Structure 1
Amino acid sequence: MGAGVEYHRRELAFALDATHPSHSLPQLPRAAKSILDIGCGMGQTLMALRLNPGIEAWGVDPDMEAIMAGREIVGSNIHLVLGAGEHLPFPDASFDLVFSRVAMPYMDIPIALAEISRVLRPSGKFWAALHPPGMLAKRIGEDFLRGQARDLAFCCFVALNSGSLRLFGRQFRIRGHCETVQTRAGFQKLLSASGLEPLPAGTRSNQLIVEAQKRQ
């Protein structure tokens, strides 16, 4: 079993443990019939939601090993497929809820949000757990103390990329990476530009939680 699958198994444990600092789950709309998890891994968040069998759930992830491992343990109403948030393999207006738990920081966010808006039904809900700037600041501080020059250089790229996205709405990709951190105000601006109306959302100690609704 690969390291990626082990990571997703740990994430499943976090998703099932409401006391863990990394625990966060979206709230299902009362009338939801179809939902989508972007960056689903093994489907751990979908499993932790303990879905009613009447809800049709889909998950997309670019890690085929995680998808194959997840297909062996998810319920019959959960369908895991290979895919990326920037190119969702679903028709327009397919879902009542789209969510992404700590996967969007690694995506080209304007493109992913446009895809999310496309596959959401009118008045459909969006939920995401993101990386706040404080997470990057903590990592930079740890790199300084440990003398991790290579990771420190990568953190500087993430900081610059985040600033570019905030100021100009544009990210850069280097060697496959386009990682960013988000502020609530900056992400709400991106949501509005994608046809999604920001909604009030809670917070977690190490995550920025955002919610939105697709305009009719």
Structure 2
Amino acid sequence: MREMEIKDGSYEEYAQVAIKLHYEKDERERNLLVDSIKDKEIRRVLDIGCGAGQDMLPFIEKKDAFCVGIDVGEELGRIGNSLADKTGFRERIVFTRSMGEDLPFADESFDVVLCRIAITLMNNQKAIAEVSRILRPGGVFLLKTHSPQFYFGMIKRRFSSLSPRQLAYPIISLAGGTFQLVTGKYPAIEFWKGREVFQTKGTLERELRKHSMEIRRLMPDSNSEAPSYYIVKN
């Protein structure tokens, strides 16, 4: 699986790569998320960890939805606004700087929530609770995360570098995910802030049940390293 890395704190570079990859997809791939819920009325969409906002564009194109993107990187909103201007959707999309663990929105105010990998960098228990709070009953949560296999694969891919720093990152991520798997608690110490933590389907289902949500199916873009889930709030 291809790794998208942020080098030297360059969120702008990361966002530009994400936009490039989005437009390299064929039409079916670009519309995969919105087409998965074509049977529902979609008025408001939230993307947590939105990057440049490219994943929200099909919801505007096909559903005329109003979209909100949040991210911790201030520069990503600027890039997102530029992309929205280029596509002519500036009136249907807004960006705000916020954290997924503390969403600045009213209860039951969104029909769809997207979170594509970003949850690995959050306190996932708090983030899931917040998604449930702001999602309307019957609303859909399209979540893509990293499994343990992703980090084992990262170790394998990076082993030839013989760089302790390169190898330490996936090992630390595995340690954090294992702690949550065994204890049922997110590793809350400051050391883990901003570091990735994996989730298994079992740990995810456990958290979702606490907040009246359930996995209905795997999405077509799911794979062993980055499972992708169609989740519904009951």
TM-score normalised by structure 2 residue count: 0.82
Q: Which residue of 2 aligns with 1:63?
A: 73
> Which runs of structure 1 show a deviation greater than 6 angstroms over 4 or more consecutive aligned residues?
none
Q: Which residue of 1 aligns with 2:11?
A: 4
Q: Which residue of 2 aligns with 1:197?
A: 214
Q: What code does the residue aligned with 2:139 have?
A: G
Cα separation, partners in 2 of 1:8 and 1:191, compared to 1, 3 Å: same
Q: How does 1:103-114 map to 2 (within 5 A)?
A: 103-114=118-129
Q: CA deviation at 1:182?
A: 2.3
Asked if the contact 1:40–1:60 (Cα under 8 Å) also holds between the matched residues in 2, the reply is yes
The SS at the match of 1:179 is coil
Instruction: Name the CA distance, whole Å, in 2 between partners of 1:142 and 1:52.
Output: 38
Q: Which residue of 1 aligns with 2:82?
A: 72
The SS at the match of 2:130 is helix
Q: CA deviation at 1:49?
A: 4.4
Q: Which residue of 2 aligns with 1:211?
A: 230
Number of residue pairs aligned between Structure 1 and Structure 2? 213
Asked if the contact 1:12–1:45 (Cα under 8 Å) also holds between the matched residues in 2, the reply is no
Counterpart check, 1:183 vs 2:200: yes
Instruction: Name the CA distance, whole Å, in 2 between partners of 1:164 and 1:98.
Output: 27
Unaligned regions of 5+ residues in structure 2, if any? Answer: 1-8
More helix by share: 2
Q: Which whole-Å deviations, capped at 9, do the CAs of 1:172-200 have from their partners, x for residues lacking one?
A: 24163331122223222221122212211
Q: Which residue of 2 aligns with 1:166?
A: 181
Q: How does 1:11-160 map to 2 (within 5 A)?
A: 11-18=18-25, 25-26=32-33, 27-29=36-38, 30-52=40-62, 54-74=64-84, 75=89, 76-160=91-175
Q: What code does the residue aligned with 1:10 have?
A: V
Q: State the identity %.
A: 26
TM-score normalised by structure 1 residue count: 0.88
Unaligned regions of 5+ residues in structure 1, if any? Answer: none
Q: CA RMSD in A?
A: 2.4
Q: What code does the residue aligned with 1:181 have?
A: F
